[in-house]
Amino acid sequence: MTGIGTSGEKELDRPGGNGELAGRLVGRVGFGAMQLPGPGVFGPPRDRATALAVLRRVVDLGINHIDTAQFYGPDVANELIHEALFPYPEDLVLVSKVGARRDEKGGWAPAQRPEELRDGVEANLSSLGVQQVGVVNLRLHSDPNEEGHGGEVDFDSQLAEMVALRDEGKIGAIGLSNVSLDQLRHALPAGIACVQNAYSVLDRSSEPLLDICRERAIAWAPFFPLGSAFPWVPKVTEQPAVVAAAAALGVTPAQVGLAWLLGHDPHVLLIPGTSSLEHLAENVAAGDVDLSQETVHVLDGLAGS
């Protein structure tokens, strides 16, 4: 079984240094499994052998925090994780999320009702082959006008179901994903271990939430840390200031973007995803990139520019 919070763990030299997630020591550079399935996070991987090799290399590199979801594929990422890594290392923290599903065309649909959240947790337990998932994030839908988005589901009912699942030992801790400031404040009494929101050197719209996480020692695991292929999400690696900083340091623009996040706040835990062994090594090496104060000042000025 993996993901159960313990105390007195030995501090190891993890990628990016040590951070804390739900009472566990984890490397600040983790791994996101979202890119392991096929294009659009749908269907089997292009190269199954490589996907399995990436996961095994993740553990070899000392990464002990893997972020996944049953709806990645669907039913693909977790199955790959199980085949590649089971039985899991004792210190591996598996983090999943519930609140969404995939339709037959690969579209993303909400699954927000309490019974759907429970079904999602049970599916993760089965596919990962564990009795408890270390952390499970409640993924909220941000568009209240989206048909069937789940907005009619009472947030307190959702939180109550997550608390019940934690009390039953099926999940070790509760996280939130794609959450608003008001929702985070409302959920704090339930005991929140981590927050996953879009956040990067270019997009700091969630900074007020990070402030709360800093005050409450809640882990902050940003998604879209380097932007996205989505046209409305700018790519960090294409920004001239990031490219210039990378050239001066002899590293890649992606490493600069990730290093800025690590330096911005100690509660940041990175979960960059890749299906490439080369990019995996690049992401891990970002933990060793040292940005000068002058470079940080320049990058700090990119938000909203």
Catalytic residue check, 199: no
pLDDT at 12: 67
pLDDT, one tens digit per residue, over 146-199 is 444 445 799 999 999 999 999 999 999 999 999 999 999 999 999 999 999 999
CA distances 61 to 29, 157, 277, Å, are: 10, 40, 11
3-state secondary structure at position 92: coil
pLDDT at 227: 87
Q: Which residues of the chain have pLDDT under 50?
A: 1-8, 144-150
47, amino acid identity: D
**Measured distance CA(227)–CA(224) in Å, rounded:** 5
Catalytic residue (choose from 31, 71, 72, 88): 72
* Domain spans in the chain, listed from the N-terminal domain onward: 18-231+267-274
pLDDT at 13: 78
pLDDT at 228: 80
Residues 6+ apart with CB under 8 A from 127: 70, 75, 78, 79, 82
Architecture of domain 18-231+267-274: Alpha-Beta Barrel (3.20)
% of the chain at pLDDT higher than 70: 92
Under 8 Å between Cβ of 271 and 223: yes
Under 8 Å between Cβ of 98 and 151: no
